[in-house]
Amino acid sequence: MNQPRPPAAPRVAVVTGAGSGIGRAVARLMLAAGYRVSLAGRREAQLLETAGDHPDALVVPCDVTESDDVERLFDVVRERWGRVDVLFNNAGVFGPAGDVGEIGRDEWEATLRVNVTGSMLCAAEAVRTMKAQVPQGGRIINNGSISAHSPRPRSVAYTVTKHAMTGLTKSIELDGREFGITCGQIDIGNTRTEIMDTIGVGSGALQADGSRRVEPMFPVEDAARAVLMMADMPASASIGSLVVTAAGMPFVGRG
């Protein structure tokens, strides 16, 4: 007589930038969906607020630009749960406002350190973990931006980093094939987060013609649902690129 199979262990996810915005919404939704989730970010108090008292939440303060911090993050996750099934590479900053002739080198490099180098360091640790674990494999989801397709005015540093994220995504997807590692990118436009206040989307965002326009936004929880959909795909399938925008935002036809 066949014995019933034991229930599968909950999947393990690492979410960076989990203290606010999209990262917070994704971490909470994944916890509600039954994932074990490590919440990473620089501000411990905000991470604890995201986690609440959920028993499957693991708060790990981490600066993604510091390789020692990132190594410690994944060490803690492996020690607690033994593996990593999903990395949501989300930590990022908008960076300086200005054209290429107006921003300074320090501001430029600080933006690249968080958005590109930080994402690379986290992906590298995830890939090493996913190659070594049994069963092998996993999924990385990189948070890009509409700016990976078309920039806003005076956003050169941010725009360059998000184009770089696309190259990182495609390279990970290619190199991870033989190890069962998939990588996709979600490009989100105008979900309601703190960064939208920074660039004035709700009060009047700068347009290519120099005017300012109030742009539509959509709830961050709906963006999180899209990330969860990507994470929940079976190992036999991968969403390589997904664009999710507020209905009616000036993306198609931008400029």
Strands 205-206 and 12-16: unpaired
Q: DSSP letters of 37-64? A: EEEEES-HHHHHHHHTT-TTEEEEE--T
Say how far apart CA 82 and CA 51 lie, in whole Å.
Answer: 20
Nearest to 183 by CA among 198, 166, 195, 196: 166
Q: What strands, in cross-sheet order, belong to the sheet with 57-61?
A: 57-61, 36-41, 12-16, 86-89, 138-143, 181-189, 241-245
Say how far apart CA 114 and CA 23 lie, in whole Å.
Answer: 15
Say how far apart CA 232 and CA 229 lie, in whole Å.
Answer: 5
Cβ burial 227-240 (10 Å sphere, 16+ → b, else e): bbebbeeeeeebbe
Phi/psi class of residue 180: alpha, beta or left (left: φ > 0; alpha: ψ in -120 to 50)? Answer: left
Alpha-carbon Rg for the chain in angstroms: 18
Question: Out of 74, 81, 94, 158, which one is annotated catalytic?
Answer: 158
Active site residue 158: yes
Q: Which residues pair with 41 in a beta bridge?
A: 61
- Catalytic residue numbers, as ranges: 158
